[in-house]
Amino acid sequence: MTVPLSILDLSPVPEGADAPTALRNTVDLAQHAERWGFRRFWVAEHHFVAVASSAPAVLIGAIAAATNTIRVGAAAVQLGHTTAAAAVEAFGTLEAFYPGRIDFGVGRSAQRRRAAMQGTSGATQLGQEWREVDGVVVPPPWDMSALARNPRLRAQLAVLQQPEAVAPDFGDQLDDILAMLAGRYQFDDVDANPVPGAGSGLTPWIFGSSKGESAQVAGANGLPFVASYHITPATALDAVEAYRAAFRPSAALTEPYVVVSADVVVADDHATAVHLATSYEHWVHSIRSGDGAIPYPDPDRVAPLPEADRESVRDRIATQFVGDPDQVADKLAALQRVTGADELVITSVTHSHADRLRSHQLIAKRWGL
């Protein structure tokens, strides 16, 4: 029996298009995803780059309004850019309009980047060798220290917070969120429970990339955990293991619930899929070079990426699942088997929206949705 399949979308801006087009494409994809049987449709949070999902709660509202049954959520709200109260109010509002359909995903990626810039991130072990675990490629970690020193990233992080603001520890923010959702939050012995939000029944979903704080906090609080194999393939398996080891039953879950992400491109045949994925390495390189995601390049127009640049993104190229429906389904099945995931979530980016729709449609049919 196959596990459920869901979608994570970034609202990528294709080369030659604009952000309004990308947002309309996301809503259109969500409507198709509902018809094709995907369980959830999540949107990421990114800022100042050529992806249009910068305001997840607003976008989720538009998607939920345009669909009827599919669950819609954030993957994930970056708590370093907001407050616990603001996040609970936003998602409490969404839940009030679309009860039982909203997934409240949160992550600490903003805090992680700030810690890396300050040299206090508890760096992932570098020097790890390439390996394969039962058909799943596990590359060495990518060293993000150069990216963390990039002045563009520093400026962006500064703009996303009020002057002199300091984001609380992720675990403390999550404690506040859980207290607010339960209607028992107090500040200086004064009740301060968000409306809407308190008593909404929302369950936070924790997104993580390693065996660090996110996995530990998710497990200790008995919350569902999403491991980002599509972004951090070197450490996603460790994250799942750490989450399960830390898990304690809660009102939300009696047993661990794991979702693992994968980046896929599916086409009717292998050669077409490989061609559609040609510009993926250029896009990832733009992110890792520090300038942020460029408009997604047209594979018909890109020149080969220089070998030195290609080496810097080799881990992401090697862990993208590209091929015909059978080939990609086999790789997804291997990822599920190795991680024991209860659910898989895929992200599929191509230059053409029609190709992106086709990619999701083909894997939905092959997966048996």
Q: Per residue in 156-203, pLDDT tens? A: 788 888 888 888 899 999 999 999 999 999 999 999 999 999 999 999
The pLDDT, as a whole number, for residue 161 is 85
Chosen CATH of 5-367 out of 3.40.50.970, 3.60.110.10, 3.20.20.30, 3.40.50.20: 3.20.20.30
307 burial type by CB count under 10 A (0-12 exposed, 13-18 middle, 19+ buried): exposed
The pLDDT, as a whole number, for residue 109 is 67
Structure tokens at 236: 């996603």
Pick from 150, 143, 56, 137: nearest CA to 104: 56
Q: Which residues are 39's β-sheet partners?
A: none
Per the prediction, the chain carries an average pLDDT of 93
Whether residue 340 has pLDDT greater than 90 = yes
The pLDDT, as a whole number, for residue 201 is 95
How far is 75 from 9, CA to CA, in rounded Å?
9
How far is 306 from 153, CA to CA, in rounded Å?
24
Please check whether residue 104 is in contact with residue 201, taking contact to mean a CB–CB distance below 8 angstroms. no
Give pTM, 2 decimals. Answer: 0.94
Whether residue 53 has pLDDT greater than 70 = yes
Omega before 196 within 30 of 0, i.e. cis: yes
The pLDDT, as a whole number, for residue 126 is 54
Whether residue 120 has pLDDT greater than 50 = no
The pLDDT of 258-262, averaged and rounded, is 98
The pLDDT of 231-248, averaged and rounded, is 97
Q: Which helix (H) or strand (E) holds 343?
A: strand 343-347
Whether residue 142 has pLDDT greater than 90 = no
The pLDDT, as a whole number, for residue 113 is 45
Which position has the higher pLDDT, 109 or 289? 289
Lowest mean pLDDT among 16-30, 113-127, 128-142, 313-327: 113-127
Structure tokens at 263: 């980046």
Which pLDDT band holds residue 154 (cuts at 50, 70, 90)?
confident
Q: Where are the domains positioned within the chain?
A: 5-367
Dump pLDDT digits (tens) for 220-236: 999 999 999 999 999 99
The pLDDT, as a whole number, for residue 1 is 61
How far is 239 from 20, CA to CA, in rounded Å?
35
The pLDDT, as a whole number, for residue 152 is 78
Which position has the higher pLDDT, 290 or 120? 290
Which position has the higher pLDDT, 111 or 14? 14
Angle at 37 between CA 32 and CA 43, to 5 degrees: 60
Please check whether residue 105 is in contact with residue 135, taking contact to mean a CB–CB distance below 8 angstroms. no
